Amino acid sequence: MEQLVTSNLKLGIIAGGQLGKMLIQEASKWNLITYVLDQDENCPANSLATHFVKGSNTDFASVYQFGKMVDLLTFELENVNIEALKQLKAEGLNIVPDPDILELIQDKGRQKEFFLKHGIPTAPFATCTNLDEIHQKIASDAIAFPFVQKLRTGGYDGRGVAVIQHEDDLYKLLDGASLIENKISILKEIAVIAARNQNSEVKCYPAVEMVFDPAANLVDKLICPSTITAEQSEKAIHLASKLIDLLNMQGLLAIEFFVDENGDVIVNEMAPRPHNSGHHTIEGAITSQFEQHLRAIFNLPLGSTKLKLPSAMINLLGAEGYEGPVAYEGLTESMAIEGVKIHLYGKQITRPFRKMGHITVLSTSVESALQKAEKVKQLIKVKSWDKQ
């Protein structure tokens, strides 16, 4: 008998951000019963979840009690109370991916040690317990400029990362247990999402490339397929498959890579969940990353990761200078452009650079998708009613 649809199987998702919302959009196609834990009643996933539970993802009691309500538990962010997950696992709850894998990935230092142990190419690094130790290691030349400091835990979206080019940048150092990495001369940044089920079936999506805007000095678009060579692509996919096998994990593993100035592909970091770099798969691939996550965690056959069409993706970020109830401009004009797919996450309050939605543009080539995405970027503004 099919367990998935005919039973009352309850899927618990820790946190109800946009990734949780998009996961539920797929889950509803299979008529799954979804439970979401989030401390914010206005979180993106609340309007879609079958049951919303208010509580913090970092609080032992909230996570533990939530786990007791469901049959299968997953998460859409790394910052989850691990002790609660371990307790639930010990009491027999099926948690996917496994809490031990999440615990390893929560700590950027342990991630790097894992790469080193298994011969996975990555930037050379050292670990430091506090600021004093970093200063001492600089004084004794154990750490050389330029370097990148990363807090071992708690960082996301670049917060928790300091790029130190020379002595004058030392004021940027962050306080806390840190990873110190050699600064890599990055040619390209790419990402690969791998999926694996309990039967050890593995499938990877084609690499996605972050497109750097030199004028704005930031990554503002993602393209798929990427412009890397076939060998670089094979290398990245090989490393992604190897990592997900080494972790013996079930679910999605998103791996970020650098292609350095010599053309070498090296691993930056990984995340055991659906990922921002896979949004284009919703419309651009035969199986979306969210459906793939469900297939992997329910131990179903993995879906095809082939692309339907080339695509470009932009995040809709809150405009600078606006904070308050969100108001969008330019959506209608953007929709008139062929291949433009708009996703609004339903966050009511905008702040500068907050991820409010994303847009995927499908086209016959990455170049034309990029041109259309640039047009959309000019048209759409994420502002606030409070301040026009």
Ligand X SMILES: Nc1ncnc2c1ncn2[C@@H]1O[C@H](COP(=O)(O)OP(=O)(O)OP(=O)(O)O)[C@@H](O)[C@H]1O
Residues 217-276 binding Mg ion (CB under 5 A) are: 256
- CA–CA separation, 275 and 68 (whole Å): 27
Q: Is 186 in the site for ligand X (CB under 6 A)?
A: yes
Residue 111 token pair: 């991630």
Q: Is 148 in the site for ligand X (CB under 6 A)?
A: yes
- CA–CA separation, 27 and 16 (whole Å): 14
Binding-site size, Mg ion (CB under 5 A): 1
- CA–CA separation, 115 and 124 (whole Å): 11
Please say whether the beta carbons of 212 and 218 come within 8 A.
yes
Q: Among 15, 143, 184, 237, which residue sits at the site for ligand X (rule: CB under 6 A)?
A: 184
**Binder of residue 278, out of Mg ion, ligand X, none (CB less than 5 to 8 A by kind):** none
Binding-site size, ligand X (CB under 6 A): 17
Residues 236-275 binding ligand X (CB under 6 A) are: 256, 268-269
Measured from the CB atom, the residue of 256 and 374 that comes closer to Mg ion is 256
**What is the residue type of 166?**
H
Residues 6+ apart with CB under 8 A from 47: 346
**Binder of residue 109, out of ligand X, Mg ion, none (CB less than 5 to 8 A by kind):** none
**What is the residue type of 202?**
V
Measured from the CB of residue 212, what is the shortest distance to ligand X in angstroms?
A: 9
Measured from the CB of residue 179, what is the shortest distance to Mg ion in angstroms?
A: 13
Please say whether the beta carbons of 101 and 256 come within 8 A.
no
Q: Is 150 in the site for ligand X (CB under 6 A)?
A: yes
Residue 309 token pair: 């069409």
Measured from the CB atom, the residue of 50 and 106 that comes closer to ligand X is 106
Q: Among 20, 99, 109, 160, which residue sits at the site for ligand X (rule: CB under 6 A)?
A: 160
- Which of 308, 66, 74, 352 is CA-nearest to residue 206? 308
- CA–CA separation, 168 and 29 (whole Å): 54
Residues lying near Mg ion in the complex (CB under 5 A) are found at: 256
Residues lying near ligand X in the complex (CB under 6 A) are found at: 123, 148, 150, 155-158, 160-161, 181, 183-184, 186, 189, 256, 268-269
